[in-house]
Amino acid sequence: MSAPILDVAHVGKSFPGVRALADVSLQVAPGEVVALVGENGAGKSTLLKILSGDYRLDEGTVRIGGAEVSHASPLEARRAGFRLVRQEPEIVPDIAAAENVFVGEYPRRSLGRVDHGAMRDAMAAQLRRYGFKGLVDPEQPGRSLSPAQTHIVEIVAALKPGVKVVAFDEPTSSLTSDEVERLFQLIRQLKAEGLSIIYVSHRLKEVLAISDRVVVLKDGRVTGNLMTARTNEDEIVRYMVGRELVHDFKREETTRPEVVLEVCHLSSRWHRDLGFSIRAGEILGFGGLVGAGRTELAKVIFGEYPRSGGTIRLLGRERDIRSPSDAIAADIGFAPENRKAEGLILVRSVIENASMAVYRRLSRWGVLSDRRMVEKVAPVIRALDVKTPSMEQEVGKLSGGNQQKVVLSRWLAAGPRLLILDEPTRAVDVGAKAEIYRLIDRLAKEGMAIMLISSEMPELLALSDRIVVMNGGRLSPVIEKKDATEELVVSYALGKGMAA
Ligand SMILES: Nc1ncnc2c1ncn2[C@@H]1O[C@H](COP(=O)(O)OP(=O)(O)OP(=O)(O)O)[C@@H](O)[C@H]1O
């Protein structure tokens, strides 16, 4: 192997009560793609944050291009050539896409004035160079960027002159299969240009498709360093969890006659004349490309976004839902896709966050005893294997995947009549994923109606009793379970066979 560009040697890092990394060593050569995998809480993000200069390491050294950057600040890490493409980048809503790309590094004209034209042109050139032409307008305001566009902005921001190592943190979690393919082409291009790539993901198929080597972390230690060409999913999972997992999940149909949700002629800024219903015990899957309007539909039903026409009935009764509290009063639960920003109070504890939706139900005369709260919620937290030193831990201190499990546990424990799940296993590890599938299945068996938005085809096909596909704010005809295939869902998602 040629001399590594990135050389991590014997790195250790502890937080109060948690040894997040212990004796971690890792090298990445020029033009090499190293995947970093591990269960939720294994230490992947902590390692990335040390490389990006956001965290200080306790022990060991980090070298980039031969120069030691063990205690670098974020600015020094960037100057040394390390760039992180984050999973949920922070976009400044009030400034243009191009300005978001250059935040903190604005090109200047004489007299120190910011050169907006130069920024726009530089971003346009980068978009062309990396195959993103036409997908984002450099002038587009930050607030109007979709998750996929936000990701492109983050990538373009990372690929500045002088970059040597790019780390992608769960890059595909909000991308469609076409977008994943485009990202892979980009990674191949970066590889050919001699960059070193770190690719953090829970999606092992993608890891196997794009990486040269797989480094496995477990409880903060490197447990495996495998050549991709000579390994497989089962072997990686063994290194991750120390046991084999069953991938295939099948469920029996549990649909009951009672209609829980009935949506008629629903229109909004994003939707035209939608109609569908979900029965008790039924899981209705929503397929479609990112940006098709599925998350927006969830938010219209949950009262977060306004409806311009149509009716929503719950258990036969028309409900005028104008806010999330109206929706909760109508017995609707919603676990959003962007859980960190929308679902959690980061400074509150695990148990408080997980109990938020059960307050009303568990309270007697407005008082909720801790014992009842713990009795109801703690088993769900344990079933999802949330890795936390205690139920009292601040949620903001958990790993990303574990934070997601806390939001899910809230709704799984609350047990509303209608549960809307938007990408429920995004960024969740393989073991927890199977557990989440079992919990969703159990809730359906108990009679909950479930609206499942998922871009992961195997998940959509395995869990849904029926599937509808959204394209441009419209719904496809209902696909019955026996007819549901990946090909059919994809062809509707691309707009084939949809009403004009
Ligand atoms: N700021 C912090 N304070 C306290 N503990 C922390 C902090 N950041 C991380 N941890 C803990 O360190 C451990 C490693 O977390 P890390 O975020 O690196 O995991 P991860 O592998 O990225 O997981 P995920 O797949 O869930 O994102 C976890 O136990 C986590 O709770």
Strands 165-169 and 82-85: parallel
The phi and psi torsions of 446 (rounded to 5 degrees) equal: -75, -5
Class of domain 6-91+145-241: alpha beta
- Each domain of the chain, given as residue ranges in start order, spans 6-91+145-241, 259-493
Q: Give the total residue count for the chain.
A: 500
The rounded Å distance from CA 34 to ligand 1 centre is 20
Fold for the domain defined by 259-493: Rossmann fold (3.40.50)
Query: What pLDDT, on the 0 to 100 scale, is given for residue 91?
Result: 86
CA of 401 relative to ligand 1 center, distance in Å:
9
Distance (Å, whole) CA 456 – CA 203:
10
3-state secondary structure of 11: strand
pLDDT in tens, the chain (500 residues): 578 999 999 999 998 878 899 999 999 999 999 999 998 889 999 999 999 999 999 999 999 999 999 988 999 999 999 999 987 788 888 999 999 998 877 777 777 777 888 889 999 999 999 988 889 999 999 999 987 889 899 999 999 889 999 999 988 877 777 888 999 999 999 999 999 999 999 888 899 999 999 999 998 999 999 999 999 988 888 888 765 454 567 788 888 999 999 999 999 999 999 999 999 999 999 998 777 899 999 999 999 999 999 999 999 999 999 998 899 889 998 988 876 666 788 888 888 888 876 655 555 555 556 676 777 788 888 888 888 888 889 998 888 778 888 888 888 787 789 999 999 888 777 777 887 888 889 889 989 999 999 988 888 999 999 999 998 889 999 999 999 988 888 888 877 777 65
Q: Is 403 left (phi over 0), alpha (psi -120 to 50) or beta?
A: alpha
Tell me, what's the pLDDT at 104? 75
3-state secondary structure of 341: helix
What pLDDT is stored for residue 390 in this prediction? 87
Structure tokens, 292: 């098709």
Report the 10 Å Cβ neighbour count for 110: 6
* Cβ–Cβ under 8 Å, residues 136 and 144: no
Q: Is 259-493 in the same CATH topology as 6-91+145-241?
A: yes
Q: What angle do CA 206, 338, 332 make, to 5 degrees?
A: 120
Residue 363: what pLDDT?
Answer: 52
Distance set, CA 171 to CA 156, 167, 180, 394, 450 (Å): 13, 9, 9, 26, 27
Ligand 1 centroid–CA 46 distance in Å is 6
The torsion angles phi and psi of 208, rounded to 5 degrees, stand at: -70, -30
Q: Which residue puts its alpha carbon closest to atom 1 of ligand 1? A: 397
**Is the separation of the CB atoms in 335 and 424 below 8 Å?**
yes
Task: Give pLDDT, residue 90.
Answer: 82
Instruction: List the Cα angle 2/202/173 in 5-degree steps.
Output: 105
Decide: 254 and 281 in contact? Cβ < 8 Å: yes
Residues with CB under 6 A from ligand 1: 15, 18, 20, 38, 40-46, 387, 397-402
Picking from 425, 421, 354, the residue whose alpha carbon sits closest to that of residue 393 is 354
Out of 14, 18, 202, 436, give the residue to mutate to test ligand 1, the one with the largest number of ligand atoms within 8 Å of its CB: 18
Global ipTM: 0.95
pLDDT at 102: 87
**Residues contacting 71, CB < 8 A, separation 6+:** 56, 57
